[in-house]
Structure 1
């Protein structure tokens, strides 16, 4: 994506956001610890982390549904803590899932209802709803009841609901969860289009390939703290993950658990994964400081047939797992 002056404009600025909850026994639990995240115009910022890391809590705070215990939050230069109603006009939230609509009403009736709640001007309502349904490829199903929709269609309808507000900031919480590959690809295409139209997007997902394909920047959360941020290449550089070497060896020379244990025992090796193709394993070895050579790896694995195939930059999944394995 080409950079321009607009890309420097921060539309979501969260500084040192903290939030705790009290459980049924009256015990407080800190969910977010001084989390700072910025989102810019024409940018997709991905927030990653395991379940319970605090991603959805942060999304709810960023949407003004929750108030933080401390920290500051601004949306389009509006103080979202002092003026949540004013800030809310500039943000659209997608939580997704099978609920959130009146299932026995048509898609278009649902969107008219939510357009009214969002204070969409009456004279713009028809055009906005038609345009939103067209963008998510549901215009031909506009008059069908939502209960007849597949899960993928409902997810697209959630996006249409967010689009009609024409907010510059979109908060998308796992928009492709539970979808088959075809529907997930459709959703990713729509999200990419919205970024190219100038929207700033904060996206949570458990799909590393999705985050890698869409993200301009990444924030990795663990136990309510941001433990890594930046582009994939920057994070890889920060953790000294220098690259990935690819080797092949015959099926009978790869002993899986034992072979991985031997490789991970080498100081410079940060991660190992394998994939079976025909009668050979392709072994991806993530490394830092010193690139492992064919002779050394062959000796460690006692594999006379090991062959070096090539090298590549680490993927987001390899970067993420390398960070998490050290937690």
Structure 2
């Protein structure tokens, strides 16, 4: 074997060893351990870690500014956060490039990268791992791996000032719905106590007013409430988030409310004389509309006692 071929073979072996250290198959992560997606840089020690089964995370896609990031994305799913104490005598560049190389080999798309002053001005604490974007010799990457079963987002920040690597991983997935059941007795108590009750178990496709089959449990309990209390009359009020124009959202909320009335009358035999569908669009939010979670809370149907 020639010296050139031998050198190439050794280089390939070293690269394979690096990737095997950093990148493994997907499995279940546990607190206090490396995430199965990426092993730690050799010699690093975990100083902090956490796992949340479902949460909403802001990830930077632009440089840091004093009041936040120039640009960012919000992703939801299983969140793993790990802070590593870096080994001594290893540069930020060396540690960062090992992670970067592993992510490239796995097919990640890099949404944002920066080094040192390119990362921006000292700003607020990072929203995921609570480090400040002002450390010495810092390097950052926000990356995405597209998968049919749910995209994976990585927030990587290596810092010489604290000699730490901050690794945040979000395995995006839809929130498991239908865990909170609507109960006729609880609805009755809420309406008698406050005059209204919010319903989050009635579902529509985006920009449509057709009631989806998954709404059956909630609609059945509303019908039971009305049958058990024959004197009760209700306004069925549709609410939306603020995405889109006011006129469009008001019209959509009215159509959705009247669709609910139609189903209660047609499927469950409730007299339309006891129900009136109205809509107010985004005019009565229960949360700010600047996050996915807030917008989801504002999209609802309310039962209001006439």
**Normalising by structure 2, what TM-score?**
0.28
Q: Which has the larger radius of gyration?
A: 2
Task: Tell which has more relative contact order, 1 or 2 (C-alpha 8 A, sep 6+).
Answer: 1
TM-score by length of 1: 0.27
